[in-house]
Amino acid sequence: MFQNKNFALLVSGQSLANMGDILYITSIINMMYQWTGSSFSTAFVPFTITSAMFLSSLLSPLAMNRWNLKWLLTFSQVGKTIIIILLTLLVTEMVAVPYLIVFMLIAGIGFLDGCANPISQTLIPHYVSSEQLVKANGFFDTITQIIQAGMWFISSMLLISMGSNNLLWIVIGLFFLSSCLLSFLNNIQGSNEKLPSPLAEMKEGWNILYRTPILRKMAYIEGLDSIAATVWLAAILYVYVNERLQADHQWWGWINGAYFLGLILGSLYCMKYANLVENKIRKVFLLGSIAAFFSTFLFALNTIPILALILAFSFGASIQIKGIPQNTMIQTSVSLTQLSKVYAALGALGTGIFAISALLMGWLAETFNAQLVFLISATLMAVISVLIKVNQQVFVKGNVKQT
């Protein structure tokens, strides 16, 4: 697998793009706060990105059915590069840029990301054999989480030493290199079938979700997961550290780091014990969900900082041990020609619910307290565990003919 040229290019290209994304978000959030002094305007940046990704997930099947998936992924990265160049030129020239234009450019980057994410997931089973999928998904997720954990720390240091404007030039370089690497992938045609009407194309992924029992259940789980996951946003964790733990701000960073470390080690576990995960895939899926419930529930009740670190790590590991089997089952439940449409539909479902629930959970945390939102999250994780247990006969790795 690791000698697979296409898989290596895909991982490398997406890794560079992910590095650039974190540096770009760090830079633009810092700029927005300096410009406005408003926490609401700053919080509107991730909301704009997520909303644009939701819209993209709805529309991306129209492109996936018509164009080569490799070039669609590459050109989405090229588009992000062009937009970030425009944004950088505007802010570095110190012109009076209307906020509307800034948010339009931010939305443009989010829109292209919303198209790229389902394509990346779709390309993995194109380039990797079915027997290697668990390892491939584990490796892909491990690299992603290492970048998430490391780049947030590095981006803070770079922001202090270089400033937001110079940081954006690094983003341009990373996006450009990513575009170059992705352009060397083997061509993968989206679909050779006769194209239906645009509305029918947009509905096709949703229809597949509804018609396929395992995907229908996965859609329920994805929706509940999206709501439950919003409590682990950095902003809500910040409130939790202040209110519940009554600890110094450094614990906020450490808890975030412990969560990402858990994600990384959860991925490594699935890679190391890939055969076990594959042979006991529904049991691992269920146990990961149950462990995530207990971690979140105890986190809500906890008032000890060091225990919060352990529970955040446990939750990260649990959610990843649950997520990799989940992703593998999705990838093997339909043919490769249908997979991009399925991921687009799931992406639209996840990002749409996440955007709304992030605002709702933030309001609940501010109006009531952070403990309440973590208890709500734990309740949702319990519902997910029951849903997996009741429908466990459905959750198996498929053997669909890959056409």
| Mean pLDDT value across residues 331-343 | 84
CA distance 215 to 84: 36
DSSP of 126-139, one letter per residue? HHS-GGGHHHHHHH
pLDDT band for position 402 (cuts 50, 70, 90): very low
- Asked whether the domain spanning 198-395 has the same topology as the one spanning 1-189, the reply is yes
> What is the structure's pLDDT at 286?
95
- For residue 398, count CB atoms less than 10 angstroms from its CB and return exposed for 0-12, middle for 13-18, buried for 19 or more: middle
251-275 pLDDT per residue, tens: 876 887 788 889 989 999 998 998 9
CA distance 118 to 114: 7
Q: Which residues contact 257 (CB under 8 A, 6 or more apart)?
A: 149, 153
Per-residue pLDDT for 340 more than 90? no
Average pLDDT, the chain: 85
34-72 pLDDT per residue, tens: 777 665 566 677 778 888 888 888 887 777 777 788 888
The domain spans of the chain are 1-189, 198-395
CA distance 177 to 13: 7
Any bridge partners for residue 68, and if so which?
Answer: 189
pTM, to two decimals: 0.76
CB 312 within 8 A of CB 255: yes
| Cα distances (angstroms) measured from residue 336 to each of 191, 371, 402 | 9, 43, 6
Both tokens assigned to 7: 């898989």
Which sign, positive or negative, has the C-alpha torsion 66, 68, 69, 74? negative
Q: Tell me if residue 308 falls in helix, strand or coil.
A: helix
Both tokens assigned to 179: 């575009």
Rg (CA), the chain: 21
User: Which CATH number is correct for 1-189, 2.60.200.20, 3.30.70.100, 1.20.1250.20, 1.10.10.10?
Assistant: 1.20.1250.20
Q: What are phi and psi of 68, to 5 degrees?
A: -60, 130
| Cα distances (angstroms) measured from residue 139 to each of 15, 262, 291, 316, 346 | 12, 15, 22, 16, 22
71-100 pLDDT per residue, tens: 889 999 999 999 999 998 888 765 566 778
162 vs 191, higher pLDDT: 162
Distance in angstroms between the alpha carbons of the first and the last residue of the chain = 21
> What is the structure's pLDDT at 403?
40
Nearest CA to 16 out of 151, 138, 187 is that of 151
Comparing 228-242, 293-307, 340-354, the range with the smallest average pLDDT is: 228-242
Per-residue pLDDT for 240 more than 90? no
Is 198-395 a domain of CATH 1.20.1050.10?
no
User: Percent of the chain beyond pLDDT 90?
Assistant: 38
Q: Tell me if residue 68 falls in helix, strand or coil.
A: strand
Helices 5-36, 99-127: inter-axial angle, 10-degree rounding: 160
> What is the structure's pLDDT at 258?
86
- b/e for 82-105, b at 16 or more Cβ within 10 A? ebbbebbebbeeeeeeeeeebbeb
344 vs 273, higher pLDDT: 273
DSSP of 186-218, one letter per residue? PP-BS--SPP--HHHHHHHHHHHHHHSHHHHHH
CB 166 within 8 A of CB 26: no
